[in-house]
Every structure is written in structure tokens, then in C-alpha cells.
Amino acid sequence: MTPPEAPVDGSIACPGTNPPAVSLRLETLAKRTDFLRAARAKHVAMPGFVVQMRRRTPDETPDADLVRVGFTCSKKVGNAVARNRAKRRLREIARLTLPQLGQPGCDYVLIGRRGATATLPFSQMQTDLDRALTRLHRSAE
């Protein structure tokens, strides 16, 4: 089988609407202190998860344009398999949504909910994250 011909003009053969698999401006939270700071900030509860958003002070990170995100699921969500599945789904909706809707200089924490994060339709979770971010950004102004 012969592969399809590449466009001569240098354009992309199959332009898609999906963001790249790796975003250069999205960083994962790892330190407990970052999660604790976000816990004291604004939050919005949605059916499948809770989103916390916190604006960083300029002296916290060297790059002020960075969007950072963290994920957590307690043991209430279920056993390790259920928690990992819930976090995978949260990571994917964050990867698809935060590069476009996340504000530079903010930390976001997505918290999984028992019985919902792993079972809700993926499209509903994406829509819920869009609505949650809109609410958080509107209240932060």
C-alpha cells in the first residue's frame, strides 16, 4: 500500500481540532503546600469533580505565564484502580481544556468525586470543566 501524498504547499495533511498531546505551558503540581494553598482558594463543585483555582503571587514561580494543575482523589472514590481511572479522566479533560481556557499565573486542582468521576460521560465532564472555569474566572475579576 502506498502512503498518501504530502501536500506540496507545506500545509498539514489532516488538520485537527485537538490540542497537541503535550502542552509546553501546562505543569503538574507536586508539592503538598501547593495543594494546601489551592484548598484555601475559590472552588466550584460540579457533578463529576471539584475545581479549585488560585492565583499565584509573582514571587512563587520564575515563570508567571505558567498554568499549573494538580489532580487528587481520596480513598472515598474507591480502590486504587478506581482512583487511577478517575485521575486519568481528570488529566485528559485538563489537557484538552486548560491550554485554551486556563489563565496564566493560576493553579488549578481537580478533585475526583465518589461514583461520578469514573462513570460520567466524558463530553459532560468537558462541558462541566468549561462552565466551572468560566465561573471561577468571572468571580476572580
Give the whole-angstrom CA distance, residue 78 versus residue 80.
7
Least confident stretch, 5-14, 40-49, 69-78, 112-121: 5-14
pLDDT for residue 49: 95
φ, ψ for residue 77, nearest 5 deg: -65, -30
Residue appearing with cell numbers 501547593: 34
Instruction: Decide yes or no: CATH 3.30.230.10 for domain 26-140.
Output: yes
Burial label for 18, CB within 10 Å (0-12, 13-18, 19+), is: exposed
In the chain, what are the domain boundaries? 26-140
Give the whole-angstrom CA distance, residue 83 versus residue 80.
5
**Which residues, in sequence order, are bridge partners of residue 71?**
110
Give the whole-angstrom CA distance, residue 104 versus residue 23.
13
Rounded mean pLDDT, 88-112: 92
Report whether pLDDT(133) > 60.
Answer: yes
Give the whole-angstrom CA distance, residue 85 versus residue 16.
26
Q: What is the tens place of the pLDDT at every residue in 49-99?
A: 999 999 988 787 777 788 999 999 999 999 999 999 999 999 999 999 999
pLDDT for residue 105: 87
> Residue 10 in 3-state DSSP?
coil
Q: What is the tens place of the pLDDT at every residue in 17-48?
A: 655 554 446 789 999 999 999 999 999 999 99
Give the whole-angstrom CA distance, residue 114 versus residue 135.
23
Give the whole-angstrom CA distance, residue 84 versus residue 96.
18
